[in-house]
Copies of this chain bind each other. A is one copy, B any other.
Amino acid sequence: MGGRTRLIDVATHAGVSQATASRALVDDPRISARTRAAVKAAAAELQYIPNAAARNLRSRRTRTLGLVIVDLSDPFHGMVAQGFEMAAGEAGYTVIFASGLSDPVRERRALKVFVEHGTDGIALVSSVLDPREARSRAEPDPLVLVQPDHRTLMPGRDPLPDGVVQTDDVGGVEQIVDHLIERGYRDIGYVGAGVLPSNAVRRETAVRRLRHHGVRRPLRRFQAGIEGYRSPGALAAIVQQSLPEALICYDDKLALALLDALRGLGVRVPDHVAIVGFDDVPFASIANPRLTTVTTPTHEMGRVAARGLIQAIQTGTMPPATLLPVRLAPRESTPPVTSADRRPPARATTTPSTSTTSPRPDSDSATGRTGRPRGSAGAALSTTAMVHA
Inter-subunit contact A356/B361 (CB<8 Å): no
Expressed in whole angstroms, the Cα–Cα distance for A57 and B1 within the complex equals 9
- Within 8 Å of chain B (Cβ to Cβ): is A316? no
User: For chain A residues 58-102, which have a beta carbon within 8 Å of chain B?
Assistant: 60, 62, 64, 71-75, 77-79, 81-82, 85-86, 89, 94-99
Inter-subunit contact B72/A73 (CB<8 Å): no
- Within 8 Å of chain B (Cβ to Cβ): is A315? no
Which one, A6-14, A112-120, A209-217, A243-251, is touching chain B?
A112-120
Residue-wise, chain A 339-364 has the 8 Å CB interface mask toward B (1 for contact) of 00000000011001111101111000
Inter-subunit contact B256/A53 (CB<8 Å): no
Contact (A74, B85) CB under 8 Å given A257-B286, A287-B288, A288-B287: no
Task: For A75, give its contact among B75, B89, B356 (CB under 8 Å).
Answer: B75
Expressed in whole angstroms, the Cα–Cα distance for A6 and B81 within the complex equals 33
Task: For A52, give its contact among B86, B97, B118 (CB under 8 Å).
Answer: B118
- Within 8 Å of chain B (Cβ to Cβ): is A187? no
- Within 8 Å of chain B (Cβ to Cβ): is A265? yes
Inter-subunit contact B355/A355 (CB<8 Å): yes
User: For chain A residues 1-38, which have a beta carbon within 8 Å of chain B?
Assistant: 1-3
Q: Which residues of B contact A82 (CB under 8 A)?
A: 71-73, 99
Inter-subunit contact B60/A57 (CB<8 Å): no
Task: For A53, give its contact among B62, B77, B283, B354 (CB under 8 Å).
Answer: B62
Inter-subunit contact B60/A85 (CB<8 Å): no
- Within 8 Å of chain B (Cβ to Cβ): is A368? no
Inter-subunit contact A359/B287 (CB<8 Å): no
Expressed in whole angstroms, the Cα–Cα distance for A49 and B352 within the complex equals 66
- Within 8 Å of chain B (Cβ to Cβ): is A282? yes
Q: Which residues of B contact A99 (CB under 8 A)?
A: 82, 85-86
Q: Which residues of B contact A388 (CB under 8 A)?
A: none
Expressed in whole angstroms, the Cα–Cα distance for A73 and B82 within the complex equals 7
Q: Which residues of B contact A335 (CB under 8 A)?
A: none
Min CB distance A112 to B, Å, is: 8
- Within 8 Å of chain B (Cβ to Cβ): is A56? yes
- Within 8 Å of chain B (Cβ to Cβ): is A310? no
Can you name the residue of chain B whose Cβ is closest to the Cβ of A59?
Answer: B53
Expressed in whole angstroms, the Cα–Cα distance for A346 and B62 within the complex equals 64
- Within 8 Å of chain B (Cβ to Cβ): is A260? yes
Q: Which residues of B contact A75 (CB under 8 A)?
A: 73-75, 78
Expressed in whole angstroms, the Cα–Cα distance for A358 and B263 within the complex equals 9
Q: Which residues of B contact A81 (CB under 8 A)?
A: 72
Q: Which residues of B contact A361 (CB under 8 A)?
A: 264
Inter-subunit contact B49/A57 (CB<8 Å): no
Inter-subunit contact A85/B64 (CB<8 Å): no
Inter-subunit contact A286/B266 (CB<8 Å): no
Expressed in whole angstroms, the Cα–Cα distance for A38 and B176 within the complex equals 62
**Residues of chain A at the chain B interface (Cβ within 8 Å):** 1-3, 49-54, 56-57, 60, 62, 64, 71-75, 77-79, 81-82, 85-86, 89, 94-99, 109, 112-113, 115-118, 139-140, 256-257, 259-260, 263-266, 268, 282-283, 286-288, 290, 348-349, 352-356, 358-361
**Can you list the 3 inter-chain pairs with the closest CB atoms, starting with the nearest?**
A53-B56, A260-B286, A288-B288
